[in-house]
Structure 1
Amino acid sequence: MKKQSNAAPLIGCAGWNIPKEAAGSFPEAGSHLERYAAVLPVVEINSSFYKPHRPHTYARWAESVPEDFRFSVKVPRSITHDAAMRDIDDLLARFAGEVGELKHKLGCLLVQSPPKLGFHDQTARDFFLKLEDTFGCMMACEGRHPSWFSDIATEVLRERKVTRVIADPAAGQPGPHVPTTNDIYVRLHGAPRIYYSSYSQEYLDALAADLDVHSAAGRQVWCIFDNTAAGEAVPNALDVLRACKGGVLPAA
């Protein structure tokens, strides 16, 4: 599975639920995913973090979306949290057997570390090498302990070609963002109330301009809105998509 090269920023949400207020921007017919994928180019699957999905479920999702649509899939907590990224061969094989049914539509794997899990050099090197060997797609990492922003952590992420997530709010990050690859992966959790708050129009306009700069520089750009609890993610994503596309969205 190869990384997708895409001129436009890839803007989407953590999940494909469409709130009533935004329904007019999407087709009326089809499943929630089919309607979502007709307008937004990517989605982040977070449910995989909490529970496994059957291979045929991933296959059905892949068949429901356009050819150029891409999924980002969050690595299960059984691997990143419970096993702390160690001795995960059996867990990883199971996960690969499931998510592999997305085939070329698997665009990225998202790794999120627990806030109390510090960075361990050799563990991280081994872990990300196994992910690369198993999947071969883009990898993004949202570390949430301060040690994941250390010089040695930056070195390892760069060596393993893992994109450090730009998160808002950025848990554990002691200073400015330090990139680890030429790619961009932004996760917007909502502020001031995490998972709930909408972003201001001023923030969204500035974000769109910034994403366009990165995209014009040839970087693969992912921007995922995770402020889903009150249904703000989809309207925010649509606003940024409109701005990046000069005000034009695909016809609903």
Structure 2
Amino acid sequence: MQNSLFGDAEATPSAPATISSRSVAPAMPDPALIALAETLPAHLRLGTSSWNYPGWAGLVWDREYPATHLSRYGLAAYAQHPLFRTVSVDRSFYRPLNVAQYAEYAAQVGNDFRFVVKAPSLITDALVRDESGKGMRHNPHFLNAEQAVQMFVEPALEGLRHRLGALVFQISPLPAAWLTRMPEMIDRLHRLLRAIPALQPKAPDGVVAVEVRDPQWLTPHFVQALRDTGATYCMGLHAKMPHITEQLPILRALWPGPLVCRWNLNPLHGAYGYEEARDLYSPFDKMVDPDVETRNELVRVIAGTAGAGQNVFVTLSNKAEGSAPLSVIALARALCNHQGPDHS
């Protein structure tokens, strides 16, 4: 059973906090969630994708704060939520972070907290894109092993140290012509993964995971590249990828090993429905489109992996069901029910 992660909340000031204050207070602890957290496997870490959402007031924060304020000062309060033992650092996808920035994150959370960190798009996107996301030209740094280690792996490992959970290389959709060259792409990925130093001396729970947005990657050649380098597959629950049950053969081929999963987008919105989901679900304070089928399948995968003593890192986006914190609660409750006497 996992230990309670709910630390002592920062004392609430008698007067309302000002915007200039460098603190964010957590929401009042819910005893039911503390009790729920105690039922979950010790090897399981649930969390959300980033933490800068004002609409989580009452769910994560004691009140509404500006998004920029939460981005800078909200992590410590986030980590006091009873069910949050990890978080996906998405900021690193848009711009590489340095050792000091990672160390600042690490200093705001407890010893048992683990980070899931996305590699910079400079490494994982085959195209250089404009502000709208449209590809402009080929990216000469795509899957460059030396740069991946220098600008991502080494700073994250040095800054986060034992609080590092998973380094995720989310490979963006490839240009159509490149999808006919998958053996070449996988060989390039293999070289990158082979260049990554061992994480365990500094991060005992650390794992390298690869998430893709083209199903053409999912081949025996891909599995061999992961197995050969000690990396794993990050199961991406996104409309651009096959259903969760169709991704499971990759995990079975890599078994035994950890589970890294990012539940990104409800399939109702289609492969290019990110903005639609964002606009529909904002301010992300309620469940809008519960995806019970995906949740139940994910519960089985989590239970089997954690039950075998393997680490599990699962992060959920607001775009999955409407509110990431509520999705985490729903997933935790489903796991608790699955572990009951009727499911043993």
- TM-score of Structure 1 vs Structure 2, range by shorter chain: 0.7 to 0.9
TM-score, structure 1 normalization = 0.80
Tell me which residue corresponds to 2:152: 95
Change (3 A) 1:245 1:18: farther
Q: Does 1:240 align with 2:331?
A: yes
Change (3 A) 1:170 1:142: farther
Q: Where in structure 1 do 4 or more consecutive aligned residues deviate above 6 Å? A: none
Size of the aligned set, in residue pairs, is 239
Letter of the 1:184 partner, please give it: L
Q: Is the 8 A contact 1:109 1:139 kept in 2?
A: yes
Relative contact order (C-alpha < 8 Å, sep 6+): which is higher?
A: 1
Deviation at 1:36, TM superposition (A): 1.1
Q: Is the 8 A contact 2:264 2:320 kept in 1?
A: no
Q: Return the alpha-carbon distance in structure 1 between the equivalents of residues 109 and 172 of structure 2.
A: 32
Change (3 A) 1:34 1:243: farther
Please say which structure displays the higher CA radius of gyration.
2
Tell me which residue corresponds to 1:108: 166
- Alignment gaps of 5+ in structure 1: 1-5, 247-252
Tell me which residue corresponds to 2:114: 70
1:90-239 → structure 2 map (5 Å cutoff): 90=147, 92-99=149-156, 100-116=158-174, 118=179, 119=182, 120=184, 121-131=186-196, 133=197, 135-136=199-200, 137-169=206-238, 171-173=240-242, 176-177=246-247, 178-179=250-251, 180-181=254-255, 182-191=257-266, 192-193=268-269, 194-195=273-274, 196=277, 199-200=289-290, 202-203=292-293, 204=295, 207-228=298-319, 232-239=323-330
Q: Return the alpha-carbon distance in structure 2 between the equivalents of residues 109 and 53 of structure 1.
A: 13
TM-score, structure 2 normalization = 0.61
Deviation at 1:51, TM superposition (A): 0.8
Q: Return the alpha-carbon distance in structure 2 between the equivalents of residues 90 and 169 of structure 1.
A: 28
Q: Return the alpha-carbon distance in structure 2 between the equivalents of residues 223 and 84 of structure 1.
A: 26
Identity of aligned residues (%): 24
- Alignment gaps of 5+ in structure 2: 1-40, 64-69, 126-138, 201-205, 282-287, 338-344
Q: Deviation digits for residues 16-49 of structure 1, max 9, x if unmatched?
A: 23553x4334464994111111120000111101
Q: Does 1:23 align with 2:50?
A: no
Q: Return the alpha-carbon distance in structure 2 between the equivalents of residues 147 and 72 of structure 1.
A: 25
Q: Does 1:50 align with 2:77?
A: no
